[in-house]
Amino acid sequence: MSARIIDISREPDLALSEALTVLFAGQPIALPTETVYGLAADATNPAAITRIYETKGRPRFNPLICHMADLAMAERYGTFDPVSRRLAEAFWPGPLTLVVPLKRNSGIHSLATAGLDSVGIRVPRGFAGELIRRFDRPLAAPSANTSGRISPTSARHVAEDLGDRIALILDGGAAMVGVESTIVKVEDGRLRLLRPGGVAAEEIESLTGLYLERPVTAASGETSGEDGSEADIEARIEAPGMLSSHYAPKAGVRLNVENARPGEALILFGSRDVPGADKAAAVYNLSPSGDLGEAAARLFDLLHAADACGVDTIAVAPVPTEGLGEAINDRLERAGAPRP
Ligand code: TXA
Ligand code: MG
């Protein structure tokens, strides 16, 4: 199979009708969201969900985010309290996933939630939201990459990785946000950050006036990636996919470098230079002006590009840790984590 690629901006009607045909047939499609490209299928159809797991090579005990058209649709499947509703109203559509109690007999298949009694819900911006409105069922969608590899931020990334395993890729250009959604679990008036992402933690805290509890990060822990053992993953059921080595390029990754070594691919941030850059195999900059939003949007594309140089090591200069820098540093640490 070689995936058909349809450009949404050129053929929006065709993109919509072909996507609906494939989805109703119980097959996954790759589609753009503002964060990263997703591998989307009918969240109510067990065969369709199974195809997502098979296509990615992803363990089935790692639950999928269910994408909705809007908050009203989301409330058919999950239970929202005043805090989760407030967050949804403020940040949807957008790069925030809320983990809330799953409604009984909601219709979402337990394969999508990996049997948990909670569900991760997100309302994406743009075409994906429109498609879900037309489909009128939630779309389960992990990132459209082989399990354990860098998330795709362009249709080309998807085609190179999964192009021979799926029927349809919708091309919506480069993803605007570029890192995955922030995942927050709302439970008993507490907020827990399961994954930093496209909405800065500070924004969530200032909106709710609540402290966003951080788990022990997987990157610093001893668990493994989407490919990890079942025991590992069950031990980390809170955010089972957020494990070290989850964003692995083929090359090794060296972080917070102050000096580049000859032959490395070098990724800079801002105007600060790194000695040894002249001996690097390739030099990139996440954001010459030091803008964290721009850096997030370019992160995975530059990791893909640096990896494609065939270097042994990708060296990355320090990136600030505030705002979107938390998600950027999180993904870089995972990219640099020891492989299972
Ligand atoms: O931006 C995104 O979130 C992208 C786009 C496609 O929407 N999706 C994405 O999906 O990053 P994925 O499967 O790569 O990551 C989903 C994460 C996993 O770490 C999973 O364990 C967690 O969400 N998750 C999903 N449902 C959960 C639940 N009920 N409780 C805890 N974690 C959950
Ligand atoms: Mg992923």
Q: Tell me the fold of 252-335.
A: Rossmann fold (3.40.50)
The alpha carbon of 277 and the centre of ligand 2 are apart by a number of angstroms equal to 31
pTM, whole model, 2 decimals? 0.90
**Domain boundaries defined on the chain:** 4-236, 252-335
Of 252, 249, 266, the closest CA to residue 308 belongs to 249
Residue nearest to atom 3 of ligand 1 (CA): 181
Residue 183 Cα: closest atom of ligand 1: 23
Q: Give every CB contact of residue 296 below 8 A, 6+ residues apart in sequence.
A: 177, 178, 179, 198, 324, 327, 328
Looking at the predicted structure, is the pLDDT value of residue 246 above 70?
no
Looking at per-residue confidence, does 221 or 285 come out higher? 285
Least confident of 3-12, 38-47, 125-134, 146-155: 146-155
Looking at the predicted structure, is the pLDDT value of residue 338 above 90?
no
Q: What is the pLDDT of residue 234?
A: 36
The model's pLDDT over 310-334, given as tens digits with 9 standing for 90+, comes to: 999 999 999 999 999 999 999 999 8
Note the CATH number of domain 4-236: 3.90.870.10
Q: Which residue has the tokens 């530059």?
A: 302
Judge contact between 58 and 147, C-beta under 8 A.
yes
Q: What is the pLDDT of residue 188?
A: 87
Residue nearest to atom 8 of ligand 1 (CA): 142
Q: Do domains 4-236 and 252-335 have the same CATH topology?
A: no
Judge contact between 143 and 197, C-beta under 8 A.
no
Give the pLDDT band of residue 248 (cuts 50, 70, 90). confident
Residue nearest to atom 18 of ligand 1 (CA): 241
The alpha carbon of 241 and the centre of ligand 1 are apart by a number of angstroms equal to 7
Give the pLDDT band of residue 289 (cuts 50, 70, 90). very high
Which of the listed residues 117, 183, 230 should we mutate to test ligand 1's pocket, taking the one with most ligand atoms within 8 A of CB? Answer: 183
Ligand nearest to the CA of 97: 1
Q: What is the pLDDT of residue 226?
A: 44
Give the pLDDT band of residue 199 (cuts 50, 70, 90). very high
The model's pLDDT over 109-162, given as tens digits with 9 standing for 90+, comes to: 999 999 999 999 999 999 999 999 999 999 999 999 999 889 999 999 999 999
Q: Give every CB contact of residue 291 below 8 A, 6+ residues apart in sequence.
A: none
Q: What is the pLDDT of residue 53?
A: 95
- Write out residues with Cβ below 6 Å of ligand 1: 33, 35-36, 38, 62-65, 95, 97, 99, 113, 116, 118-120, 122, 141-143, 180-181, 183, 194, 238-242
Least confident of 27-31, 114-118, 227-231, 274-278: 227-231
The alpha carbon of 134 and the centre of ligand 2 are apart by a number of angstroms equal to 25
Looking at the predicted structure, is the pLDDT value of residue 230 above 50?
no
The alpha carbon of 55 and the centre of ligand 2 are apart by a number of angstroms equal to 13
Ligand nearest to the CA of 30: 1
Q: Strand order in 282-285's β-sheet?
A: 252-254, 313-316, 265-268, 282-285
